[in-house]
Structure 1
Amino acid sequence: MEAKFLSRSSIYKGDYDCLFRTPKNEMRSNLHYHDFYEIVVYLGNAGIFKINGKEYLIRRGDIALINMFDPHTLIYNKNTYYERFSISIDPNLLLSFNTAQSNLLDIFSKDSRNYPIFHVEGKCFDKYLRILEQYRDQKPAHGKDIFEKALIHQLASYLFSDCYDGIHFDNTDSRHVSMIAKLVDYINKHLSEDLSLGVLAQEVSYSEYYICRIFKKVTNYTLTNYIVEKRIAQAAHYLTGDMTINKAAEKVGFNNYSYFYKTFKRYMGMNPAEYKEQHTQANNN
């Protein structure tokens, strides 16, 4: 099964999101990838987690670390109750937490023995539960975003303490991820504009060849294909609402409707009109 790009617009706005999920509000079990990091704390036996071609039977106390662009999905039992706490975090926000002594990229390294799933229990698990309880029950009347980011920051420090196993991102690798984070941020903010390789290269002050090579090396996806998939995923998100097909195409940078039509059908398996009709019917039921 080929992984589909998941638009962050269908998940969150801003630079992070925190959400409790149960079978009632769970995502569909489709293999997908996205351009942000994800941390999931499982509070129950949720099913089978697939990532990078491997399967993991999830139990209470498991914590999943999901790197940018890693294909994954959760195959869950709709009839079995569980709860999981999911944190979606923009790469630039994650990188802002790093210090000279602690690089959070280290725990997202595929070479780490604790990636992508590690297990905690007892007092070690309790400290994570206390953060989740604070998030659920102790929201301030003002400064909610500051409070939530402080909890995420604290949780990240626990993760680094529990997961770090000596595998270290060197400075070159960290610079590569930082460059990709800047590219992702620029593309997110300028999706309707010119996203040619020349424009992107100028934005991060590297050559076109270099940004394409490093993007492919780090993510396993080509930069140009990522942009197309991101545009189509965003257009699909727009079409689930009231936006017209022409407007959706324009908003994501397609000036040629025929090309948009063919590209949308190739990635989504149906044309834009069929997709919009399907979701209009679903919303009316």
Structure 2
Amino acid sequence: MSSSLFLSQRSLYEDDYSCILRNPQNEFNYGLHYHDFYECVLYLGNAGIFRIEDQEYLIKRGDIVLIDMFKPHTLTYNKNYFYERFSLSINLSLLISFSTSRSNLLDVFHNCSDRLPVYHLSQEQLQKYLTLLDKYRKIKLENGKDILEKALIHQLLAYIYSDCYRGRHIDEKEAQHAQTIAALLKYINTHLNEEITLEQLAAEVNYSEYYVSRLFRKISGKTLTNYIQEKRIEEASCLIRGGLPINQAAEQVGFNNYSYFYKTFKKIIGCNPADYQARY
């Protein structure tokens, strides 16, 4: 993952999900990146080449792309074509809460990059998504908009489960692992500006420090320490881009030693905080 950029849920959207319609005019131009949440993208036009890790896929209208947590990916879009894509970002805890005993959404999202992550819809299948997106576009409520959005997301995820499920249920052990990771991510998000120790994380999920470390590395490909560092630096970079002084940004994400923050920022971002601030 060394050549890809980490983007955290905490710094991209405030709630536990995000919905956005994109096209070449407001496209997401971060290049190869990965994040600590799931993403589902429905393409309403021939968009270009989608890369997930070392695999590339030609994306067409009617394609659904499922993106696993911590999997590097990017879209190289065709600038000669206009397209739209609807992107749903959703954190692990919310995905689990939307699941049922009969329809576990982890069946399609968990390790989706290890299977074929691109599903092509028939015209009949696509039409129900288009009808749902039309409802999404027309939301004009002064109050309760978020409630209606979540209802539409529920419906969208039901469609995705119906169209993308391929007959393999996640086993009980994998489901338990997902619950543990969700609890760890939630704790880290909530306490990011505080000192976070492995002992605290292990106590939060009632497992040994060794077990928690090994499980997190198995799922994410990185250590808990590295993840927390990346998450703090990524959020600090957002705060700096937003105009917050560097020392305040460092304190706000849990760094009390400025020289250590400076060194860690340069290692992860590739330049020091002052140069980064000047760039933006």
Bigger mean CA offset, 102-111 vs 175-184: 102-111
Aligned to 2:56: 55
Root-mean-square deviation over aligned CA pairs: 1.5
For the pair 1:40 / 2:41, whether they are aligned, the reply is yes
Cross-structure match for 1:251? 252
CA drift at 1:54: 0.5
TM-aligned CA deviation for residue 205 of structure 1: 1.4
Q: Summarize the Cα distance change of 1:275–1:204 in structure 2 as closer, same or farther, 3 Å threshold.
A: same
Return the offset for 1:208.
0.9
* Helix, strand or coil at the partner of 1:63: strand
Q: Note if contact 1:111-1:167 (Cα within 8 Å) is conserved in structure 2.
A: no
* 1:219 corresponding residue in structure 2: 220
Partners of 2:128 and 2:226 in 1: CA distance: 41
Identity %: 56
The superposition leaves residues 67-103 of structure 1 with CA deviations (integer Å, 9 ceiling, x where unpaired) of 1111111111334211100011111111001111111
Q: Which residue of 2 aligns with 1:92?
A: 93
Offset of residue 140 of structure 1: 2.6
Residues 236-284 of structure 1: CA distance to partner in whole angstroms, max 9, x if unpaired?
Answer: 00000121111111111111111110110111111000101111xxxxx
Residue 233 of structure 2 aligns to a residue in which SS?
Answer: helix
- The residue type paired with residue 239 of structure 2 is Y
Q: Which residue of 1 aligns with 2:7?
A: 6
Question: Take 1:113 and 1:164, find their aligned partners in 2: how far apart are those partners?
Answer: 14
Amino acid at match of 2:202: A
Q: 2: CA distance between counterparts of 1:56 and 1:174?
A: 29
Equivalent pairs counted in the alignment come to: 279
| 8 Å contact kept, 1:109–1:115 | no
Q: Cα gap change, 1:254/1:111 in structure 2, threshold over 3 Å: closer, same or farther?
A: closer
Distance 1:235 1:113, change over 3 A: closer
Cα distance, 1:60–1:253 mapped onto 2, change above 3 Å? same
**Structure 1: 5+ residue stretches without partners:** 280-285
User: What is the deviation of 1:121?
Assistant: 2.3
Contact 2:41 2:85 in 1 (8 A): yes
Does the 8 Å CA contact 1:19/1:85 hold for their aligned counterparts?
yes
DSSP-derived class of the 1:75 partner: strand
Q: Contact 2:107–2:168 at 8 Å: present in 1 too?
A: yes
Q: 1:20-169 to 2 correspondence within 5 Å? A: 20-110=21-111, 115-169=116-170
TM-score (norm 1): 0.94
> Structure 2 matches for 1:134-283, cutoff 5 A?
134-279=135-280
| In 2: Cα distance, 1:129 partner to 1:180 partner | 33
Q: Structure 2-normalised TM-score? A: 0.95
Aligned residue identity for 2:65: A
Deviations 1:172-225 (A, max 9, x none): 101111111111111111111011101111111111111111111112222111
Q: Which runs of 5+ in 2 are unaligned?
A: none
